[in-house]
Chain A
């Protein structure tokens, strides 16, 4: 089946630095990718919808300048947490929609990236 790969799976950084997380669709072209944040024992929180070749659509309350999303190709979207602070520590997950899999597009999730900001 389709695979979405996220990298890195774990990252520790110092406060004030920026961290980039990559999300790749390995065997399909994803025109739309989604970025989520998950707090401990909580459900997913959609942060933004990333469309290839255009600006991302951010959910209410998500800072665009803080969480930079780039979807430069049909197989790669990146999330950059800029000037990270300890409160940005979280589990970040991406998903990608395979437009060829059904009318609404089958959804495949990355393995997630655990960010710890010291």
Chain B
């Protein structure tokens, strides 16, 4: 059983659509990261959350500590949002989700 479950694994969306990626975890955490990796590119930590909600541009990340669940939302999606998004939780160690490969079609 994985400590971090992410869904969906693959997602294709039309430009402009609202996108949600989900992350559920089973361990107690001090923080959760949402990571973005473009094809052939480096990894960027989009958000670090320990509670509530954060917003950066068209990206919104929420976390519910009681339900052990986090979501990453992308509003008005764009082809440049095409990337792999991974959630990672910090417990006594790091646990990673399997990643969601997002493709946004023009």
Contacts and interface: CB of A to CB of B under 8 A. Distances in A.
Contact of A46 (B44, B48, B96): B96
A44 B30 contact: no
Interface of A: 34, 41-46, 49, 57, 59, 93, 95, 102-104, 106-112
A112 B30 CA distance: 26
How many chain B residues sit at the interface, stated as a range, is 20 to 34
The 7 closest A-B pairs by CB, nearest first: A104-B31, A43-B99, A109-B43, A104-B30, A111-B42, A107-B45, A43-B98
SS class, residues of chain A in contact with chain B: strand
B44 A109 contact: yes
Given A46-B93, A104-B50, 10 more contacts: A34-B94, A43-B96, A43-B97, A43-B98, A43-B99, A49-B94, A102-B31, A104-B31, A109-B42, A110-B42
A71 B99 CA distance: 29
A54 B96 CA distance: 24
